[in-house]
Amino acid sequence: MQLPTLKIEIEDKNISIPIRQRFQTIIKEKKSNLCLSADLTSLDEIIELSNLIGKNICMLKIHCDILTDFSMDKIQELKDVSRRLNFLLLEDRKFADIGNTVALQYTKGLFQIAEWADLVTVHVLPGEGIVQALEQAAQTINESRGCLLIAQMSSKGALTNNEDYVNGVIKCAEKYSDFVIGFISQSRLTTSDKYLHCTPGVHLTNTGDQLGQQYVTPRQAIDGRGADIVIVGRAILDSINRVKTAEAYQQECYQVYEELHLS
Ligand code: 5BU
């Protein structure tokens, strides 16, 4: 007699939770609105660092195209750490092409970004088709996916920082509000708390770098500019003790956030 085949489904408890809700829960549960921008060229080093700092962050942002040792096995390892220590993975891909091309860039090639990145960053410069294409492509993945629209950049002279452009980005977010869960911004763009405002260009001691990056402090980013999430890179990466510095940024960022939103 032939036995019926047993279908074993190994469920990741996070799969079924919409990404927006998951993000908000992580922030509250971990008391962290800190995103570490791990701009390192070794994925092994990022994995090691995320094992140490994962407890302090709500999200880890990477640039997969600067990695010298990328492999799908290693990125799966990072994904496992992110699930275990409960933070999201953001690939800062800054998609900026026509819909058909970005759908391929998102799902194919060496990086297969859609397989592992909870969130990606997107320029709306080419028009809303870019978001439509990414959302459609994400529907082929068995986990909740989302994106952050780049509304304003932190770098000196950024052409994104004009009102018409930003209004176009907000309109696009409203049209695709299931997939768009927030913005990369330098100011508060909407009163709706549906959209998480994520602000890079944050440093407690430096005001900029030699290549046009401009920094504000966590307090200026959150209180002055309405950030929910603060994105910090070299302030932590270049510090003598990355773990201690990440803890300090976590505390400072969440304290200001609590004062403003949760008191
Ligand atoms: P930093 O080391 O904290 O300066 O790194 C900032 C990171 O945020 C880096 O990965 C940039 O690519 C990213 N970034 C930014 O700095 N400014 C922007 O407007 C956008 C992204 Br969009």
Residue nearest to atom 12 of ligand 1 (CA): 92
184 three-state secondary structure: strand
Q: Which two tokens mark 118?
A: 């909870």
Q: By the 8 A CB rule, do 129 and 102 touch?
A: no
Pocket test for ligand 1, best of 37, 46, 160 (most atoms within 8 A of CB): 37
pLDDT of residue 9: 42
Q: What's the pLDDT tens digit per position in 75-87?
A: 999 999 999 999 9
pTM value? 0.94
Percent of the chain predicted with pLDDT > 90:
90
Here the contacts of 219-222 (C-beta below 8 Å, separation 24 or greater) are 219/252, 219/256, 222/33, 222/253, 222/256, 222/257, 222/260
DSSP assignments along 157-171, one per residue: T-TT-SHHHHHHHHH
Range of lowest pLDDT (1-5, 190-194, 204-208, 224-228): 1-5
How far away, in angstroms, is 1 Cα from ligand 1 center?
62
How far away, in angstroms, is 201 Cα from ligand 1 center?
6
Q: Burial level of 246, CB count in 10 A (0-12/13-18/19+)? A: buried
